[in-house]
């Protein structure tokens, strides 16, 4: 199971409604001159008519090919003339997925970024929002489906999106100097460094940079926040649906990394004695040989080869001693923040768990309604537990049932367990990790704003009708898909209004660190304007409910999060004496996932 980003199913990116080409814009950056294109952003539902300069397919590092495979990105050499940045670059090598497939052109030469600049007559520099796409570190791109034009036009910000290496090409590690891992995260750092070095040429403010991302992109944002190498390169962070307390997406076990790398070598006829010889052989393979090894299915194949269970993704980010020196969840627990005092916004959707139930029930994708009986629930609730150690701990499983089953009707033969399972999975994976993070960051002095999206959209990302407000359904609102021609994303007026509010919240936060400001238009009702989104603090625990009517609430799932963040870790410790609940994988390589206790401050 994995959490994925939304990906493009067409090779050509989508244009903004009423596209009009003007004179080609040009900027000069440190590497040379760039020529882009102009579009007029206009829509009858928005009182705006804005020219946007778009620069697509800008190379921000040298192609990571040949001897540069499994190495940090190298500084791009200048092109000595004019570079036409008018079409998107290739996506990074990745496998097709039955749930979120893409058909973009793929290449190992994929380190490209896109810049969306609203034309302004003001001399003030514009805030910058840098998007990190999701995809479980195995899928996705920064181009299609992440068209930054509506956000730039409506929010008056510069939007930057980019690709980074994925799967084994982005994250394979031998646990030593020959392939330390994290190349995809270092690509992200290089893209953010590029923004810092060049964004002023586009009219942007390098001292007002906001990182935002969803799912694995949200995790990446937090890795950037916790890395000692990122000081001064950004100033605000928006984390949408995922943070470092989720299990199975980080490794500190160098022995497991080495075994997995050698397992991959055996799979592609590169079986070698040493890691140095292994990496030399892997560098010589055609890039396309890695395409089918980047999917989630590779996990089971590698487990068969090495005879050991692996995390959800076999090539996760690692503690490489350089970009990340220890498990990021430990840093948050200890509150030893290097990049402290920043503005932070984070949140989730109300039915995140439905997304993962869909992976477990593919036979039901075309059904108008999903129902789960007691027998199926008993099976799925174990499979979908975030920490594999819980699957064999009967006390833990009994406690989870006690918390989530509707006991008033538990004796009914036709009792439907869908919502119970969805809330269990969503709380385990997302809601309660976010609660632990919000508490820690607020206690450490960050300005924290928390949200919870409860609105069930009328139009959904996938043709599965029963998924509700699930994982990734925030993307159409954040990026304003209603305002993009070609996406066929027409919404009713009340959801258009909600889209505008979400876009204003996100861009207001990027401008000021406060999602409420400025309020110089009629986007928000008089009542909403009187109920500003409050800071998240302990003990107040206030947050914004994002729905058709924006409301302030408090103590989101406080009981459930005390259960997951305090009670369950203590129960596991007391019912499994051989388990160190705070053990790193280096100390307990037999565990299949990082075991993170998320203590409430």
Q: What is the DSSP string of 34-79?
A: EE-EEEEEEETTEEEEEEEEEEEEEE-S----GGGTTSPPPPPPP-
For residue 165, the model assigns a pLDDT of 98
> Catalytic residue positions?
215, 352, 471
For residue 51, the model assigns a pLDDT of 93
Inter-axis angle of helices 298-306 and 254-267, to 10 degrees?
100
| Element containing residue 84 per DSSP (H, E) | strand 82-84
For residue 470, the model assigns a pLDDT of 95
Inter-axis angle of helices 216-226 and 183-198, to 10 degrees?
70
Q: Is the pTM of this model over 0.75?
A: yes
For residue 452, the model assigns a pLDDT of 98
Q: How far apart are CA 333 and CA 328, in angstroms?
A: 9
Contact of 497 with 547, CB cutoff 8 Å: no
CATH fold group of domain 26-251+321-346: Rossmann fold (3.40.50)
As averages over each run of 10 residues, the pLDDT of the chain (601 residues) reads 42 38 82 94 81 96 97 94 94 76 81 96 92 94 90 96 97 96 98 98 97 97 95 96 90 94 95 96 95 81 89 91 92 86 95 93 88 92 84 90 92 90 95 95 95 96 90 96 88 95 96 82 66 92 95 96 93 69 36 33 31
Phi/psi of residue 72, nearest 5 degrees: -60, 155
Contact of 389 with 579, CB cutoff 8 Å: yes
């Amino acid at each position: 199971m994995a959490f994925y980003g939304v990906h493009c199913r067409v090779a050509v990116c989508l244009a903004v409604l009423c596209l009009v080409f003007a004179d080609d814009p040009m900027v000069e950056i440190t590497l040379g001159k760039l020529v882009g294109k102009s579009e007029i952003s206009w829509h009858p539902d928005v009182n705006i008519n804005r020219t946007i300069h778009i620069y697509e397919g800008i190379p921000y590092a040298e192609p990571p090919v040949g001897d540069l495979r499994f190495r940090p990105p190298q500084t791009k050499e200048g092109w000595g003339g004019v570079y036409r940045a008018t079409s998107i670059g290739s996506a990074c090598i990745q496998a097709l997925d039955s749930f979120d497939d893409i058909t973009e052109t793929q290449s190992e030469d994929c380190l490209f970024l896109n810049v969306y600049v609203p034309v302004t007559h003001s001399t003030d520099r514009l805030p910058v929002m840098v998007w990190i796409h999701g995809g479980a570190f195995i899928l996705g791109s920064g181009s299609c489906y992440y068209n930054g034009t509506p956000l730039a036009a409506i929010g008056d910000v510069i939007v930057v999106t980019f690709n980074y290496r994925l799967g084994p090409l982005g994250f394979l590690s031998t646990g030593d100097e020959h392939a330390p891992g994290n190349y995809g995260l270092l690509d992200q750092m290089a893209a953010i460094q590029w923004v810092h070095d060049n964004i002023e040429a586009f009219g942007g403010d390098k001292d007002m940079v906001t990182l935002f991302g969803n799912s694995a992109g949200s995790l990446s944002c937090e890795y950037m926040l916790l890395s000692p190498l990122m000081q001064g390169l950004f100033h605000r962070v928006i984390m949408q649906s995922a943070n470092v307390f989720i299990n199975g997406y980080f490794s500190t076990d160098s022995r497991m990394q080495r075994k997995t790398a050698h397992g991959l070598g055996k799979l592609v006829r590169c079986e070698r004695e040493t890691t140095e010889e292994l990496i030399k052989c892997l560098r010589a393979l055609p890039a396309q040989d890695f395409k089918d090894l980047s999917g989630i299915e590779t996990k089971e194949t590698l487990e068969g080869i090495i005879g050991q269970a692996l995390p959800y993704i076999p090539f996760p980010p690692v503690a490489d001693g350089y970009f990340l020196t220890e498990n990021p969840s430990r840093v948050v627990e200890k509150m030893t923040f290097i990049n402290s005092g920043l503005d932070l916004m984070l949140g989730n959707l109300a039915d995140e768990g439905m997304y993962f139930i869909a992976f477990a029930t593919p036979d039901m994708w075309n059904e108008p309604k999903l129902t789960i009986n007691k027998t199926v629930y008993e099976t799925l609730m174990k499979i979908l537990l975030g920490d594999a150690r819980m699957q064999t701990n009967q006390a833990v499983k009994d406690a989870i049932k006690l918390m989530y089953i509707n006991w008033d009707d538990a004796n009914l033969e036709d009792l439907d367990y869908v919502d119970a399972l969805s809330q269990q999975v969503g709380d385990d994976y997302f809601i309660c990790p976010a609660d632990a993070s919000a508490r820690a960051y607020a206690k450490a002095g960050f300005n924290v704003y928390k949200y919870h999206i409860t609105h069930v959209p009328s139009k959904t990302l996938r043709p599965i009708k029963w998924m509700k407000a699930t994982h990734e359904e925030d993307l159409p609102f954040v990026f304003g898909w209603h305002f993009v021609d070609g996406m066929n994303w027409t919404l009713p007026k009340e959801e258009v209004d909600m889209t505008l509010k979400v876009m204003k919240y996100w861009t207001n936060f990027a401008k000021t660190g406060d999602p409420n400001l400025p309020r110089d238009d009629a986007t928000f009702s008089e009542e909403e304007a009187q109920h500003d989104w409050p800071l998240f603090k302990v003990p107040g625990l206030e947050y914004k409910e994002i729905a058709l009517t924006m409301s302030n609430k408090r103590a989101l799932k406080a009981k459930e999060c005390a259960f997951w963040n305090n009670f369950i870790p203590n129960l596991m410790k007391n019912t499994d004496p051989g388990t160190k609940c705070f053990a790193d994988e280096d100390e307990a390589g037999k565990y299949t996932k990082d075991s993170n206790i998320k203590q409430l401050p």
